[in-house]
Amino acid sequence: MDPSMEEHVPTDPQELPSEPVPSTSAIAATIINSTPASPAPRSQPLSPPPTADQDKNAVDASLTTPELDSAILEIFGDDPSVIKDYGQEIQSDLAVRLQHIATNGLSKEARKELCDKYLPPSNCPLIDAPQLNAEIRAAISEPVLKRDKGIELKQKQLGCSITCISQAISILVSQQNKDTSVIKLLMDANRLLCDRQNQDSMTRRNFILFTLKKDMRDELIKTKVDKLLFGTDFAEKLKIAKSIFKSSADLKAPMRSNKTAANKIKTAPHTAAAPPPPRQNLNWKGPPSNRRPQVSQRTREPAQRSLASQHSNSQTSNRAPPQQRQRRR
């Protein structure tokens, strides 16, 4: 680079320019003035004012659908349009195990172990499945008996479930610090299971009553379920039903049906004389020519004989001499 073209930097204070140095405020003012001004914000178009009809509709909507507080909504009850398919979630590990059992079931060994573990309590035996009465067992058919046995086994498992939940409730109630929310949940489950037990017992009774006689059925419906499906006093009820049926049959008058009376009339012997044949009137006409009456062989022979005799007489008269003919005339 050419040294003559290098900028000369003054080092001596006498060589410094005599002009004053501009202040910082002046520099700032110069920078502000030199920056371009920001564009003015665009004016957005104003929406047209609402019309009278829009104002009226808004007022009507506010009057017809007001916002109700929770107290009023509780009085109205639940919204029927809201469908609740599922409830509150449970613990994830518990949900996995319950879903597996619900879809695949328990093994026979596990089911038997649980049923043997939770036997019905001694002070509450009626939560177990009621047994079938011996009289009914002997009266029903084999398919009906098998169906009843299947429902009874399901009821036994329900009884074990009720026993297990009842033991948990008894433990919670005996504690000093009682958690009422947990007790309420367990008690609700027990109510549902006991109601299902009763419904299954009614189903068993209806299946069996349908196969029995109607006269006995009306009396057996009045029995109540206890340890036995038709009650422990079933034998007495059966005797009463039989006596009522027998006494009602004795009081009824014997009724004759129309069919039996008609059969007796048909089979009765005809003792009276047969009525005479109808007389023929003077204007009576014989059957048409194409329907001639059939003449028996006996009636035909005398007619033929009479015609033959007449023919022979005519021939003899013709052969006789004229004198005899005149005499005959």
The average pLDDT across 212-237 equals 86
pLDDT band at 22 (very low <50, low <70, confident <90, very high): low
Using CA atoms, how far apart are residues 267 and 269, in angstroms rounded to an integer? 6
**Whole-number average pLDDT of the chain:** 75
155 in helix, strand or coil? Answer: helix
Model pLDDT, residue 172? 94
Strand partners, 228: 131
Beta-carbon contacts of 52 under 8 Å, excluding residues fewer than 6 positions away, are: none
Instruction: Pick 153 or 239 by higher pLDDT.
Output: 153
What are 147-192's pLDDT values in tens digits? 999 999 999 999 999 999 999 999 999 999 989 999 999 999 999 9
The average pLDDT across 261-285 equals 58
Using CA atoms, how far apart are residues 175 and 188, in angstroms rounded to an integer? 20
Model pLDDT, residue 59? 54
Ordered by where they begin, the domains of the chain are 111-213 (1.20.120)
What are 74-114's pLDDT values in tens digits? 898 888 888 878 888 999 999 999 999 999 999 999 999 99
Using CA atoms, how far apart are residues 205 and 131, in angstroms rounded to an integer? 11
Strand partners, 131: 228
Using CA atoms, how far apart are residues 175 and 237, in angstroms rounded to an integer? 47
Q: Which amino acid is at 267?
A: T
**Residues 191, 197: contact at Cβ < 8 Å?**
no
The pLDDT of residue 119 is above 80 = yes
How many residues are recorded in the chain? 329
pLDDT band at 245 (very low <50, low <70, confident <90, very high): confident
